[in-house]
A and B are shown apart, each in its own frame.
Chain A
């Protein structure tokens, strides 16, 4: 079980450490003027969590990925059980039921499910002999994802469900499926969105046919794709009515943040004001008026990037972008580099999780994307998610340290 410390990817670890430390400073700033001492001490709690997360990370890098490979399905089954359990004994927070409360500690089983699904999918896709585009291969992997997604949607948590879907696509892609093929799979969703207007829908269908002709996925696949596209576009208004009010509201306010300045749109507007008013160098630590005077909602979790943007400006934002970029670059390199197929998929899936949350969170603060409640990896306040992301880094570092092993 011993590893050589020289073989560890120190630069990757350092990037994640920097991100976490920046996060702790920003949490401190975000809650500096909070009314309770408990909130003011969030950053100290985050520091403690970092210690825990780093400890788990060191354990993980000592475990050979082979062990996860072996235990993948058992871990997967265990996490499904937890997801079912949280529906009955979980704690509600902000309209969503997704936590186990152990005294002061809140544990979200959906975070564990992310890792469990990652193991299960990597294991399945690494060993299956089925051709990449075969229906069975897709059906089985889809089923692995659908089970936790269904449970999470029940809680309800749209953001986390999307993380699972994205993980599936990343792993399909990394196991060899053409991105064009993936495009065809997600085409019904595009059909849904474009169906809001007949013109956009017509243009989309022309493009879809061109894609089908170039990719030539086979007659049956082509027909099914076209039919689902047509059907979804047609039932789009009915589907819309099936959404929960908060989901509708989020989508609507995303499309037009000004429609309800005190609702979800208010958050986006205040976030944009915070980041934009930061300018190039920002207003300085503890000097962000948007943060200090409570205009920014959830400044220590969902909108931590806005705090950074306000107080450290474009300069600070670029540092964050660089650190994340470096992690992704390292992950792609490790996934390409290591010989074990399981490890390669594991690393790529881990990078996919981090990247998706990164895009959605920053996109949200910049007003590109709807408010989904996904925290910024490493930076946002939250113990379990910090442990999750450090575990993902752990898989990357572990895989790199044993890259020669099959």
Chain B
């Protein structure tokens, strides 16, 4: 077996050859890393320690016409996770315990919101400072967890302004597809409703970036000076046409009722002065993750706090739209201002059906203006039959019913203005009776309006037929001080001649000022008010109570439309409620002390003997 025995000389040679080969291999390895791959690995080394942090812009502030705050920002902390630095069985588990959000929820949020493995993914917003303190002290327990100071939206809850402020939330995947903006990414905050949504791009501003040096365990060492940062561009501030004082009055006026809506506008330019939907919700809860229980509570509330009543609530307008039928009759030459129909004896017989007037004892014979003053139904039935369904519907349309108001807020309903085509479709051809026109003529039946549509119509009545497009934004001020002032825009003119307008205005005046006016208790010696009551029959319960007011009559500058759901007659509930609002507005304007008014004017609650 000695063929395996090697001489010493041979062994020495083999050893040297081995040594040379070994060092050659190591040299190749070193050369590969330090020369060939140097640039790439140097970059990786930079990426290792430099983290790109987005600087979130300050979202624009929203104020009322007098500069009072409606939407503000307040500082809060957001916890995020840097995916690349997660330590299995530690990061997510420890964080879950700290912020009491279960691990699957956290994983879901990482999966949904991650932009890059090396950038923080927001997990929970608006965490208390005590938790931030724990994260700071025990950062070793939370590898990959970072927190950021962020501004959270703060909504003035007292205003009850959710109907137009809306709220913000994290952008959804669906929204990302639809919104064409490279600046948005999952986890970004965008407006979800109201002004926040409509003017999102203006309010949002532009994100900036900065570079921060970190250690492997995620400890921040501060800003990295070698790379310049790009500052964020703050969002524009928006001034609304809203008057906060009036808004509060409106919201508080509904306090004692279940549900309702109020819209106050300036008929001279279409500015919305106040708008409230009752009951509302706290828009602040959307700033952080809403607990499931709270969300269910809001959603299952039978009073529908999330329903935006002024824009989306559909109600029969009741007598408030009697102006349209009378205007149409005058324009079509079917009646003159003084012509009369068969006297009202408390109802009207059509075929085998008896249509009641609201006043069982009857109104007797009335002219056009008095019909409005006393809100006689029998007069309207007879006029409606003369006009026919389609003519009446045409005039309703001319007055803006069944058409969007194009207000600068998202999500608005059309309302419903039925005509023969609609009835044919709904009931089948000729399967309905002419009796429907009787309902339509007094604002019942299928005719449905939103409070904002009705407010727009009354602006037209108050402004001699010229209807401005309702709008809520008055001024946009960009961060570079550039200003855009929104100019009023005429939407349309009511389809009535000057003489017709005069008759309608006379009727409007007499409702409050007239001897038999259904809202005569709003009459006072300090300022003149006109208006119209309305009682919308509600098949599901008590009637809805309407009132629309115009003031002052000599030169109208405010109209207020209110609906109180299931509250009874317009004159009983809505009229005094609107009276309060008008009084508050006018007293401030006339600088008369409210106390003086209190003793002189009518009592607010009156027993209902008239409409």
Contact = CB atoms under 8 A, between A and B. Distances in A.
Interface of A: 131-134, 173-174, 176-179, 181, 216-218, 261-262, 270, 272-280, 289-290, 293-295, 309, 313-314, 317-318, 321, 325, 328-329, 332, 336, 355, 359, 362-363, 366-368
A178 B4 contact: yes
A321 B23 contact: yes
Q: Which 9 A-B pairs have the closest CB atoms?
A: A276-B41, A277-B45, A294-B216, A276-B33, A366-B29, A277-B42, A293-B215, A295-B216, A314-B34
A272 B41 contact: yes
B26 A366 contact: yes
Contacts of A270: 48, 216
Contact of B33 (A176, A275, A336): A275
B176 interface: no
Given A272-B41, A293-B49, A176 B12 contact: no
B41 A277 contact: yes
A272 B6 CA distance: 40
B38 A279 contact: yes
B27 A290 contact: no
B34 A309 contact: yes
A273 B216 contact: no
Contacts of A317: 30, 34
Given A277-B38, A328-B19, A368-B29, A289 B45 contact: yes
Nearest to A324: B23
A295 B49 contact: yes
B217 interface: yes
Nearest to B214: A293
Interface string B1-17: 11111101001101110
A280 B27 CA distance: 13
B37 interface: yes
B540 interface: no
A399 to B, nearest CB: 15
Contact of A275 (B8, B11, B34, B46): B34
A300 to B, nearest CB: 15
Interface of B: 1-6, 8, 11-12, 14-16, 19, 22-23, 26-27, 29-31, 33-35, 37-38, 40-42, 44-46, 48-49, 84, 86-88, 213-217, 221
A178 B11 CA distance: 9
Contacts of B42: 276-277, 279
Given A276-B41, A277-B41, 16 more contacts: A132-B4, A173-B11, A270-B48, A273-B41, A280-B38, A289-B49, A293-B221, A294-B215, A295-B48, A295-B49, A309-B34, A314-B35, A332-B15, A332-B19, A336-B11, A362-B26
A68 B440 CA distance: 120
Question: Which of B22, B26, B34, B41 is the most central at the interface, judged by chain A CB atoms within 10 Å of its CB?
Answer: B34
Nearest to B144: A262
Contacts of A178: 3-4, 6
Nearest to A281: B34
Nearest to A218: B1
B22 A359 contact: yes
A236 to B, nearest CB: 27
Given A278-B34, A293-B215, A132 B49 contact: no
B216 A176 contact: no
Contact of B30 (A133, A217, A289, A366): A366
A132 B41 contact: no
B2 A314 contact: no
A173 B7 CA distance: 11
B41 to A, nearest CB: 3
A177 B1 CA distance: 10
Contacts of B45: 273-274, 276-277, 289-290
A261 B44 CA distance: 14
B5 A132 contact: yes
Nearest to B37: A276
A170 to B, nearest CB: 9
Contacts of A368: 29
Nearest to A261: B84
Q: Is the interface of B mostly helix, strand, loop or mixed?
A: helix
Given A132-B5, A176-B5, A277-B38, A314 B44 contact: no
A132 B34 contact: no
Q: Tell which of B27, B29, B42 has the most Cβ of chain A within 10 Å.
A: B29
Contacts of B213: 293
Contact of B34 (A181, A262, A280): A280
Contacts of A367: 29
Contacts of B4: 132-133, 176-178, 181, 217
Contacts of B49: 289, 293, 295
A403 to B, nearest CB: 14
B14 A179 contact: yes
B23 A131 contact: no
A366 B29 CA distance: 7
A280 B35 contact: yes
A270 B84 CA distance: 13
A262 B30 contact: no
5 contacts: A176-B5, A218-B1, A276-B42, A332-B16, A336-B11
B474 to A, nearest CB: 52
Contacts of B33: 272, 275-276, 309, 366
A276 B1 contact: no
A295 B50 CA distance: 12
B19 A321 contact: no
Contacts of B46: 289
A133 B1 contact: yes
Contacts of B221: 293
Contacts of B11: 173-174, 176, 336
A197 B591 CA distance: 96
A275 B22 contact: no
Nearest to A135: B1
Nearest to A348: B15
A293 B29 contact: no
B220 to A, nearest CB: 11
Nearest to A266: B216
A181 B31 CA distance: 34
A194 B232 CA distance: 58
B14 A262 contact: no
Contacts of B22: 355, 359
A218 B38 CA distance: 52
Contacts of A181: 4
A177 B33 CA distance: 37
Nearest to A131: B1
A273 B19 contact: no
A355 B20 CA distance: 13
Contacts of A277: 38, 41-42, 44-45
A134 B48 contact: no
Given A262-B88, A366-B29, A368-B29, A279 B34 contact: yes
Contact of A336 (B5, B8, B217): B8
Contact of B31 (A132, A278, A314): A314
Contacts of A289: 45-46, 48-49
Q: Which of B40, B49, B213, B214 has the most CB of A within 10 A?
A: B49
B19 to A, nearest CB: 5
B19 A329 contact: yes
A241 to B, nearest CB: 23
A363 B48 CA distance: 23
A174 B29 CA distance: 28
A314 B88 CA distance: 35
Contacts of B215: 293-295
Contacts of A359: 22, 26
Contacts of A290: 45, 48
A305 to B, nearest CB: 10
A132 B49 CA distance: 57
Contacts of A133: 1, 4
Give the residue among A176, A274, A321 with the most B Cβ atoms within 10 A: A176
Contacts of B217: 294
A16 B522 CA distance: 107
Contacts of A321: 23, 26-27, 30
